[in-house]
Amino acid sequence: MRNIFIADAHLHQPEDSNYRLLLRFIESLRGNTDTLCILGDLFDFRIGLSSISFPEHEPLLKALERLRATGTRLIYLEGNHDFQLGVSLAMRLDAEIYAGPVTLNLQGKKMFLCHGDLVNSADWRYRILHRVLRSRVTLYAGNLLPQSVLLKLRKKLQLTSKGRYKNDRVRWDYRSIIRNYAETVHKTGCEILVLGHFHLPFAEKQSDFTLISLGDWISHFSFAEMVDGEIRLLTYPD
């Protein structure tokens, strides 16, 4: 059995190098992968609003459809750049879409999967923003706005997010935050934690617990592969 875990591609346009490389990677999974787990921020911006379309995402979605057609199970955890994805996308991809963290049993291992944007409990500003953006009022208002206005808001949010990320990398010790969170997950009885969001690829193993921080598909092109109950962090292409 082979399971694959990816996160944080932040895809923009199909002609971008990381977009093309991810398409190639997904095509390489056809016929040899039991489960593909996407742990959020696959796209740099995708919200399930009927008032906005995302034609630039079609090549990737079609690649996922082809992968699903070969029998690969698709699991999609929403991130902070792609959320409220809705029933329509789940039906189109025949995928399991989760709005938050999920505990799954894969290859006999109890695994805790999450995007990771809520791991830092001290970042209360982001936690407020997280609630506001996902509120019914915000989504209702979003569906009333014309696409031109939404696209301007998208650009502003993207620029704000990039600025926050640069500042937060200086302000916060991401590795320590992730490790502390891993200790909490370990106490729940889970054997493996896999998360994204931090764009920081690293893996740490203890006798009865494994932590995988996935990195990203922007500069690291990192992913996790699980075969016969053993998980490891890799880069593409090797």
Q: Domain containing 149 — which CATH number?
A: 3.60.21.10
**Model confidence, pTM:** 0.93
pLDDT of residue 162: 67
pLDDT of residue 161: 67
Residues 79/117, Cβ–Cβ less than 8 Å: yes
Overall average pLDDT of the 132-137 stretch: 84
Overall average pLDDT of the 145-160 stretch: 73
Confidence of residue 150 (pLDDT cuts 50, 70, 90): confident
Instruction: Choose between 238 and 186: higher pLDDT.
Output: 186
Q: Is 82 helix (H, G, I), strand (E, B) or coil?
A: strand
Which residues lie closer than 8 Å to 34 by C-beta, 6 or more apart?
1, 2, 3, 71, 72, 73
Give pLDDT tens digits for 93-120: 999 999 999 999 999 999 999 999 999 9
Q: Which segments of the chain does DSSP mark as H helices, in order?
A: 17-28, 58-69, 86-93, 124-133, 136-144, 147-171, 174-187
Which class for 88: exposed (0-12), middle (13-18), buried (19 or more C-beta within 10 A)?
A: exposed
Q: How far apart are CA 91 and CA 113, in angstroms?
A: 22
DSSP code at position 134: T
Give pLDDT tens digits for 223-237: 999 999 999 999 999
Give the residue numbers spanning the domain of 82: 2-235
Give the count of domains, the chain: 1
- What residues pair up with 231 in beta bridges, in sequence order? 226
**DSSP string covering 10-33:** -B--TTSHHHHHHHHHHHHTTTT-
* CB neighbourhood size of 225 (10 A): 14
Residues 210/203, Cβ–Cβ less than 8 Å: yes
pLDDT reading at 144 higher than 80: no
